[in-house]
Structure 1
Amino acid sequence: MSAPPVHDPPAAGVVRLPHTGLQVPDARLRVVRCRPHYVNRWEYRALLVRGEQRIGHIRGPLPDVAEPGPAGVAGGGPVVSFHPRGRAFTEAELEDFAAACRLDGQGLSSARVLTLLVDEYRIEQMVRGCARRGGVMARCCGEGWVHYIPLRAYPRSAGQCAAALAHLERASGVGGPWRIWDGQQWSPLSVGSGPDTSPGCA
């Protein structure tokens, strides 16, 4: 995996992923499945596609058994790795893709990009699962942490927003700022606020 590139603005035409805030040059490159797998240790295996084409899979440690070390690295070797399927998408192409990605205006290593693609999928699945049960997901991001708490219904009135905020603070012990998934973006959970334009939780 390469070292992060220099910190420069993203190229025109990049797409900002809604849950992590990762900016990618091609939104067709995404994770569509992620499952736990055991070979000597528990890890996840995530299926990576470009459009409808399977191009390989990502392997990495499960969150509760991650090894210490810098992002994507432990014990001097990569923890998160890409395993291409044939020649449909090579490791060199992955390096080029990762070099064009940005998070908060900063370049990222390939391992970090892969991790964020997996995170984007996991959060999307969590949000969809909450919606299928008739609820809505709220979150609060801090430095190096994020709380996700489901609400039974989308709060629309000022009174409902106040009640939801009180519940979230009691449940998490965190005062905010809280944001709620409105189906397209994370919007501030407050009266008369516009859409969330802050970076994603990564």
Structure 2
Amino acid sequence: MRRPVVAILVALLSLASLAMFGGCGGNKNKDTAKQYMKEADILYDEVETGWKELQDKQADLAGKAMQGDYAAFSGEAGDALRKEFEDALQGLSAKLDETKAAYAKINELDGVPDYQEYASKMIEVVGLNKEMIAAAQSLITEITNAFAAMAQGQEIDLMALLSGSEGFKTIGELQGKIEAAKKEADKIKKDKKLEQ
């Protein structure tokens, strides 16, 4: 009678050990998800830096325009400036594609729903950034054309142009959506302790 009891106890202990240590495989995916998240977050930080540099350049140019210096906006200088902005936006777009792919790798893993929730929210943030690039490209065309006309002597109310611009309004709306979605993603990361 003792043998069956001992055998049952040994079997139960073995099962308990398996249950306790069997979850270790999930840690592999957790570690992988954490690594993917860090890599994707670094890429997104580079996108934010790119936007900041573009905004700084835009502010500098707006200051010149407000002072009546339109030389940078017409002729060869205007063409070069437009190309510079378009190249910067294309670079941001490519970086966003890379960032989205990095977050998408997290969604391919099993057993990491918290990381997947964060990755999905960041993919939403990336999508909003892509929309903002399209709006910025449209706005650049609109502003470049206006500055070229001003450089040729046409009177254009710059403030009215900007305040009435659909591209400008769209960019403002998208910036708000990006900030809100990014805050949600940051909250998920913090609340679920994804960096620990």
Structure number having the greater strand percentage? 1
The structure that is helix-richer by fraction is: 2
Which one has more relative contact order, counting CA pairs under 8 Å at least 6 apart? 2
TM > 0.5 fold call: no
Query: Which TM bucket (shorter chain)?
Result: under 0.3
Rg larger for: 2
Structure-1-length-normalised TM-score: 0.24
